[in-house]
Amino acid sequence: MEWKFSENLIDYTEALEFMEQRVGEIIASRADDWSGTTQECVWLLEHPPLYTGGTSSKACDLLDARFPVFETGRGGQYTYHGPGQRVAYVMLDLKRRTPDVRKFVQDLEEWVILSLANLGVVAERREGRIGLWVAQPDGREEKIAAIGVRVRQWVTFHGVSINVNPDLSHYAGIVPCGIAEHGVTSLAALGVKADMKDLDEALQRNWGRIF
């Protein structure tokens, strides 16, 4: 397993090209009876401000294209990426693990739930809503992590994004994940003083508990 950490902002097209190449290499390595040297990979990074649309995106949910918009093959609808948000791109060979996409998504969710719990945040699933949510004392529920994956020949790519300290006003350009009745939050907005390094350490620490 390879872990990649990027401190600089990574262009979205660069990330896509890397994932496409790595996924292809992982698939090709199967021809050697699993003895290929291509490694599975988790890449933790930040992007410059942009919006991405998944396979279920609706044009009406793109309210103000103030940043570049990328249509991508991952699942889900529109989401925002930008500085202060940790994106985890996960490239795993489910054929060598458990060939079950639903379980993979649930495992990603549990990985993030455990990692955020280490930082003092209770993140929860909600029936019928993609992503992970934080319940506020006044009853409001706000999204702290988004999930959108793609699978090619049982190899995964794309992944999760977790709000550490992004500019939450940038979400105003979209209806995040097609859900208008709930807002978004971040570790900073919740008063949690954790930074990217703290989150990265928690994600690495909990990886082996799930995967």
Contact at 8 Å (CB) between 154 and 95?
A: yes
Q: Which two tokens stand for residue 201?
A: 């350490």
- Per-residue pLDDT tens over the stretch 104-129: 999 999 999 999 999 999 999 998 88
Q: What is the mean pLDDT of residues 86-96?
A: 96
Element (H, E) at 209: helix 196-210
Name 166's Cβ contacts closer than 8 Å, sequence gap at least 6: 80, 82, 83, 84, 85, 186
In a domain, 56, yes or no: yes
List active site positions.
177
Q: What is the CATH number of the domain that holds 62?
A: 3.30.930.10
Over residues 135-152, the pLDDT tens digits come to 988 988 999 999 999 999
Instruction: Assess contact for 157 and 92: CB atoms under 8 A.
Output: no
> Beta 50-53 vs 69-71: how paired, if at all?
parallel
Determine, yes or no, domain membership for 211.
no
Pick from 146, 188, 153: which is nearest to 171 by CA? 146
* pTM of the model as a whole: 0.94
pLDDT (0 to 100) of residue 29: 87
Q: Which two tokens stand for residue 75?
A: 């699942």
* Segments forming the whole domain that contains residue 115: 2-206
For residue 39, is it within any domain?
A: yes
| Digit-coded pLDDT (tens) for 169-197 | 999 999 876 666 678 999 999 999 999 99
Average pLDDT (41-58) is: 95
For the chain, the domain total comes to 1
Cα distance between residue 185 and residue 183, in whole Å: 7
Asked if residue 147 lies in contact with residue 177, where contact means CB atoms within 8 angstroms, the answer is: no
